[in-house]
């Protein structure tokens, strides 16, 4: 990148900074909704899957299959049912977040030392107390790793939301591509990357704090 | 036995896993305040038996009574909360501080915060760890310390009964011995009923008031250390092994092996070497009016009926107490190259003597 193109990019960025900020907020909201709703739907399913592994395996398989469908295809598939806007976009983000959260919830709970669970039961913990006081806290770092994967993925995939008319930084990226305006594309793409990296760092921090408290080297 | 309360009772209890019978018609009664040890080779059903007491493993047939109540009629959660549980791999919760671990049972029962704090401080003192440990995490303290915390946690709700599943199995031998000593010292003040599972015979002899040996789901024999070393059963003998006999001797007190009919004369009496009472004896003990032993005389020093003089009186050395262990007495005899030791109470009263022969003869001899 030459000096001229850098300065033209920066001056373009300065020109549209308020618009970028507005789209970035939309982007964050879309991503947050996707991650939060995805996690709160997948987490109970994951707990359920550890209690009934037969049904649980199907759930893992189905969400795994959905995970492999290209994001544009999922979005396109949603449109006839949910119309345009943020709803199909968030729905697509939720579907993507299921598999990592579900799988990590299962793995995390199943990896809890059975001696620890038995100690808790032996001391008179009810099944709910075993779940909330022992299994979930101990599985937390693993579940958190799943949510972290989802967060990064969701921020990226939310870019596609622009195609469904949900707004977000994708708008700049795709109009930039169609107008062959590199500056416009970059002004959308660079904040997306930064947001993804920040989310990854932040959640990594939470994950490692939980781990180090338990004496797991992370 | 009069006035003994039965805290745990098994009546023909069996446990099947599918068709496999892992516990086979087990019967026993555990008295209040006693440490009952279940021991046997791995897979003998000892841990399963233990877990049936708090119903972590439900039994298949027979009846189990805990403090007089049939366990099947109790809510398993309530039952478990009334029984302390210490497990093999310590089982401290790694995400909780020592304080929260110790208070775990109290938290399950929603005991007020203030009471929990007081109890945690009490317990940490009881197990001899500094207060500052309460805010640490399990991985920040040593294995032996973790095991102590495990015991403290089991005691938190002040249960009458304590189940211990190989509690000291995960620590090095030195720490294990230390923990055993601490447990015995603690037991003197807390006087709980304990069921203790181990595979270490020495540990069984050391901590157990009574020991039950299991094999292939059956309780083969049950009794005190002395009963166990006297068992005739080949399996039991092979299982306890030669070395464990020393541990058993450590638990048998000298008074069980005292020879009380050794000849005694009073201070100032005369001795007749031909007295039929002295037949088969080389020495005669001299006591005063208060029953205190002044020393002994050798019969070979007396030719005929004559008075005992101080020149002929020999001092008794290294007496042992009736409550000393046989191991200590035998050690003293070997160390001092003596064939016998006088047994004298704390108050100085002469009880008799203990000899190699008398120590050996209490282990019922086959001939």
Residue in chain B lying closest to A217 (CA): B139
A35: pLDDT strictly greater than 70: yes
Domain ranges across chain A? 32-213
What is the pTM for the complete model shown? 0.76
Least trusted range by pLDDT, from A9-18, A31-40, B307-316: B307-316
Closest partner residue to A115 (CB to CB) among B89, B104, B109 is: B89
Q: Which residues of A lie closer than 8 Å to B, measured between beta carbons?
A: 113, 115-116, 118-126, 129, 133-134, 137-138, 140, 210, 213-215
**CB contact at 8 A, B101 and B120:** no
Q: Residues B178-187: what's their mean pLDDT?
A: 86
pLDDT level of residue A38 (50, 70, 90 thresholds): very high
Identify the pLDDT of residue B206. Answer: 85
pLDDT level of residue B113 (50, 70, 90 thresholds): confident
Identify the pLDDT of residue A28. Answer: 93
Q: Do A138 and B95 touch (CB under 8 A)?
A: yes
Q: Which residues from chain B sit within 8 angstroms of residue A210, using beta carbons?
A: 95
B89: pLDDT strictly greater than 80: no
Q: In this predicted model, what pLDDT tens digit does every residue of B45-60 receive, in sequence order?
A: 888 999 999 899 998 9
Q: How far apart are alpha carbons B76 and B183 in whole angstroms? A: 27
Residue in chain A lying closest to B136 (CA): A213
Q: Do A215 and B93 touch (CB under 8 A)?
A: no
Bridge partners of residue B21, in order along the sequence: B16
**Count of other CB atoms within 10 angstroms of residue B366:** 6
Helices (H), A123-169: 127-129, 136-157
pLDDT level of residue A72 (50, 70, 90 thresholds): confident
Q: What is the CATH number of domain B256-361?
A: 3.10.580.10
Q: In this predicted model, what pLDDT tens digit does every residue of B256-279 receive, in sequence order?
A: 888 888 888 887 777 777 777 777
Q: Measured between CB atoms, does B52 come within 8 Å of chain A?
A: no
- Min Cα separation A159/chain B (Å): 38
* CATH class, range A32-213: mainly alpha
ipTM for this prediction: 0.73
Pairing between β-strand B161-165 and β-strand B193-198 as defined by DSSP bridges: parallel
Q: Residues A171-200: what's their mean pLDDT?
A: 91
pLDDT level of residue B122 (50, 70, 90 thresholds): confident
Q: Which residues from chain A sit within 8 angstroms of residue B104, using beta carbons?
A: 120, 123, 133
Least trusted range by pLDDT, from A144-148, A176-180, B192-196, B313-317: B313-317
Identify the pLDDT of residue A34. Answer: 92
Placement of tokens 């020592």 in the chain: B98
Cα–Cα nearest to A23, from A130, A176, A215, A214: A176
What percentage of chain B carries pLDDT values higher than 90?
Answer: 10
Q: Do B89 and A138 touch (CB under 8 A)?
A: no
Cα–Cα nearest to A192, from A163, A215, A172, A169: A169
Residue in chain A lying closest to B51 (CA): A122
Q: How far apart are alpha carbons A140 and A207 in whole angstroms? A: 8
Residue in chain B lying closest to A213 (CA): B95
Cα–Cα nearest to B107, from A54, A203, A129, A94: A129
pLDDT level of residue A44 (50, 70, 90 thresholds): very high
Closest partner residue to A116 (CB to CB) among B77, B93, B109 is: B93
Residue in chain A lying closest to B154 (CA): A123
- Min Cα separation A166/chain B (Å): 41
Q: In chain B, which segments carry CATH 3.40.50.300?
A: 6-252
Q: In this predicted model, what pLDDT tens digit does every residue of B198-215 receive, in sequence order?
A: 988 888 888 888 999 998
- Min Cα separation B107/chain A (Å): 10
pLDDT level of residue A218 (50, 70, 90 thresholds): very low
Interface residue of A123, A144, A210, A215 to substitute, partner B, most B CBs within 10 Å: A123
Q: Residues A162-175: what's their mean pLDDT?
A: 87
Cα–Cα nearest to A20, from A180, A189, A163: A189
**Count of other CB atoms within 10 angstroms of residue B180:** 18
Q: Which residues from chain A sit within 8 angstroms of residue B85, using beta carbons?
A: 119, 122-123
B217: pLDDT strictly greater than 80: yes
Q: Residues B96-118: what's their mean pLDDT?
A: 87
The helix (run of H) or strand (run of E) holding residue A159 is: none
B6-252 belongs to which homologous superfamily?
P-loop containing nucleotide triphosphate hydrolases (3.40.50.300)
Cα–Cα nearest to A192, from A20, A72, A16: A20
Identify the pLDDT of residue B335. Answer: 86
């Amino acid at each position: 990148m030459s000096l001229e193109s850098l300065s033209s990019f920066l001056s373009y960025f300065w020109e549209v900074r308020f618009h970028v900020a507005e789209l970035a907020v939309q982007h964050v909201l879309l991503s947050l909704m996707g991650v939060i709703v995805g996690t709160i739907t997948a987490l109970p399913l994951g707990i359920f899957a550890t209690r009934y592994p037969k049904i649980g395996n199907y759930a893992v398989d189905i969400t795994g299959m959905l995970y492999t469908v290209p994001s544009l295809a999922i979005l396109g598939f949603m449109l006839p049912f949910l119309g345009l806007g943020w709803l199909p976009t968030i729905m697509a983000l939720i579907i993507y977040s299921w598999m990592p959260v579900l799988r990590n919830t299962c793995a995390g709970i199943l990896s809890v030392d059975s001696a620890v669970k038995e100690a808790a039961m032996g001391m008179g913990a009810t099944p709910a107390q075993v779940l909330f006081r022992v299994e979930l806290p101990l599985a937390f770092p693993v579940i958190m790793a799943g949510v972290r994967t989802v967060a990064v993925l969701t921020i990226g995939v939310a870019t596609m939301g622009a195609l469904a008319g949900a707004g977000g930084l994708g708008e700049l990226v795709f109009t930039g591509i169609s107008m062959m305006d590199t500056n416009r594309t970059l002004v959308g793409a660079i904040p997306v990357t930064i947001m993804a990296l920040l989310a990854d760092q932040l959640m990594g921090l939470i994950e490692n704090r939980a781990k180090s408290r338990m004496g797991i080297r992370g | 036995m009069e006035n003994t309360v039965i805290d745990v009772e098994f009546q023909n209890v069996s446990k099947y896993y599918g068709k496999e019978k892992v516990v086979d018609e087990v019967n026993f009664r555990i008295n209040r305040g006693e440490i009952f040890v279940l021991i046997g080779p791995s897979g003998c059903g000892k841990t399963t038996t233990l877990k049936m007491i708090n119903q972590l493993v439900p039994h298949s047939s027979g009846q189990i009574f805990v403090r007089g109540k049939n366990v099947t009629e109790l809510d398993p959660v309530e039952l478990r909360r009334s029984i302390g549980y210490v497990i093999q791999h310590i089982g401290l919760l790694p995400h909780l501080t020592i304080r929260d671990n110790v208070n775990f049972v109290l938290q399950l029962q929603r005991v007020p915060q203030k009471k929990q704090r007081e109890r945690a401080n009490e317990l940490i003192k009881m197990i001899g760890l500094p207060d500052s440990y309460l805010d640490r995490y399990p991985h920040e303290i040593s294995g032996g310390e973790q095991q102590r915390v495990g015991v403290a946690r089991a005691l938190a709700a002040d249960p009458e009964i304590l189940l211990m599943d190989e509690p000291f199995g995960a620590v090095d031998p030195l720490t294990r011995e230390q923990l055993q000593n601490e447990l015995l010292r603690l037991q003197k003040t807390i006087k709980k009923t304990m069921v203790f599972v181990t595979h270490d015979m020495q540990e069984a002899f050391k901590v157990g008031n009574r020991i039950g040996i299991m094999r292939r789901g059956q309780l083969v024999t049950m009794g005190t250390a002395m009963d166990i070393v006297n068992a005739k059963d080949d399996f039991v003998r092979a299982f306890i092994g030669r070395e464990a006999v020393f541990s058993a001797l450590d638990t048998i007190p000298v008074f069980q092996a005292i020879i009380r009919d050794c000849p005694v004369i009073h201070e100032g009496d005369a001795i007749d070497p031909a007295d039929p009472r002295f037949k088969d004896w080389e020495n005669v003990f001299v006591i005063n009016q208060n029953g205190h032993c002044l020393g002994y005389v050798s019969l070979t020093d007396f030719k005929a009926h004559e008075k005992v003089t101080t020149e002929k009186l020999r001092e008794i050395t290294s007496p042992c107490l009736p409550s000393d262990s046989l191991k200590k007495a035998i050690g003293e005899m070997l160390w001092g190259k003596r064939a016998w030791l006088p047994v004298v109470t704390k108050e100085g009263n002469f009880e008799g003597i203990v000899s190699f022969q008398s120590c050996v003869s209490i282990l019922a001899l086959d001939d």
